[in-house]
Amino acid sequence: MEAISTTAKETTKTGVVTLTINGKRVEAREGMTVLEAALGADIYIPTLCHDSDLKPYGACRLCVVEIEGMRGLVTACTTAIENGMTVRTETPAVDKSRHISMELIMANHPADCLTCAKNQQCDLQRVAHYLGINQEHFNRLRKTKRVLPIDKSHPAFDRDPNKCILCAKCVRACQEITGVGAIDLAYRGYDAKVSTFADKPIHNSICESCGECISRCPTGALLPKKYKQPTHYVKSICPYCGVGCSVNLGIRSNEIVDVQGDRGSPVNKGGLCVKGRFGFDFISHPSRLTKPLIRKEGKGKDIQVNGNFREVFREATWDEALDLIAWKLTQIKEKHGADSIGVLSSAKCTNEENYLLQKFTRAVIGTNNIDHCARL
């Protein structure tokens, strides 16, 4: 019985599919697509519309492959794997189809790569380089001169429809991930474009500013305002609420210039809200306080500061500031009672720090007047 059981385990692997890709034997999980199986086996297949967080779409037609027993070319991102399947990703027919698809995608795309903010981080550039697309491919194409207005209405990012390749990643992310549907593909044929309802500016739409569309755009069609390429990334935790989303902060000249959600985090899986993605400019803001301030002698509360803190306040050490706070709280409690004091906690503190603050408020001051600002 033991031998039979062992044999059965060796001959059957539940949920595993075996196929051949470019002569290489590949084992993949049942239900995966040919593209996912190939990428998992370190076999590159070019694509612009694929995203692991979105449903298969097959719009760019760059991931076409040949599969024995199937007629013509099929898109690897929409074709499920099967046992015994034989796939070829590099054949004359496949290469020709990819070149034609790429030429059509880039025919009316702006050629300002050197001045584009997405330069060297553009998926369109990478795929074009992989396919060997050069100037000769475009000299024989008839180009148009359609120029669409750039939507700069949003305070956090710009939308340039001239650089859009209609991969629909932004549309699908807005519908499948956030469930908002602020944008969609509109019109047909040559006039097709990504649009809001009634083609209004993005700021006047139902957009929630989460930035999921921006993080997935393969070109420079969606970019944060004043975007700079970071020199390196630092992993951190978003400070805005208690969820604890993991973020990768793009750093350049000791300044945060980019924020990306950490896809490997079990908490947010790469997703971020509007604060987590766009709310880090306060760190390097010139008005940010970096030291405690104490009101100068003789400066009353009715004085208008007008942004110039030095007229009313002076810098102090933490010990001096905390001693002053303790003395003031003691005076207020003795004169007006503990319930005359209220405490507002911060979502930017850790859970442990917030626990200590509520303990201090209830046990030391003696009041339950404590609230928290963690409201998105």
pLDDT tens-digit series, residues 259-288: 999 999 999 999 999 999 998 888 888 888
Over range 2-31, report the average pLDDT. Answer: 70
CA-only gyration radius of the chain, Å: 28
pLDDT tens-digit series, residues 93-149: 999 999 999 988 888 888 888 888 898 889 999 999 999 887 776 666 666 677 899
| Side chain identity at residue 362, one-letter code | R
What does the alpha-carbon distance between residue 95 and residue 65 come to, in Å, rounded to a whole number? Answer: 9
Max CA distance (Å), the chain: 94
> Is the pLDDT assigned to residue 76 strictly greater than 60?
yes
Q: Which of 160, 172, 166, 169 is nearest to 189 (CA)?
A: 166
What's the confidence (pLDDT) of residue 27? 94
> Is the pLDDT assigned to residue 301 strictly greater than 80?
no
* Three-point CA angle 192, 197, 203, nearest 5°: 110
What's the confidence (pLDDT) of residue 9? 34
> Is the pLDDT assigned to residue 222 strictly greater than 90?
yes
What's the confidence (pLDDT) of residue 298? 66
What's the confidence (pLDDT) of residue 309? 59
What's the confidence (pLDDT) of residue 10? 35
**Spelled out in words, what is the top-level CATH class assigned to the domain 146-227?**
alpha beta
Q: Average pLDDT of the chain?
A: 88
**Spelled out in words, what is the top-level CATH class assigned to the domain 16-142?**
alpha beta
What's the confidence (pLDDT) of residue 8? 33
What's the confidence (pLDDT) of residue 6? 32
Domain boundaries along the sequence of the chain: 16-142, 146-227
Q: Which of 295, 245, 300 is nearest to 272 (CA)?
A: 245
- The four Cα atoms 58, 48, 52, 232 give a dihedral, to 10 degrees, of 180
> Residue 310's pLDDT band (boundaries 50, 70, 90)?
low
Between these two residues, 301 and 13, which has the higher pLDDT value? Answer: 13
Q: Which of 47, 85, 44, 42 is nearest to 66 (CA)?
A: 85
Lowest mean pLDDT among 3-17, 146-160, 179-193: 3-17
What's the confidence (pLDDT) of residue 189? 87
What's the confidence (pLDDT) of residue 376? 45
Q: Identify the residue whose tokens are 């390097």.
A: 284
pLDDT tens-digit series, residues 223-256: 999 888 899 999 999 988 778 899 999 999 889 9
Indicate whether this model's pTM tops 0.85. Answer: no
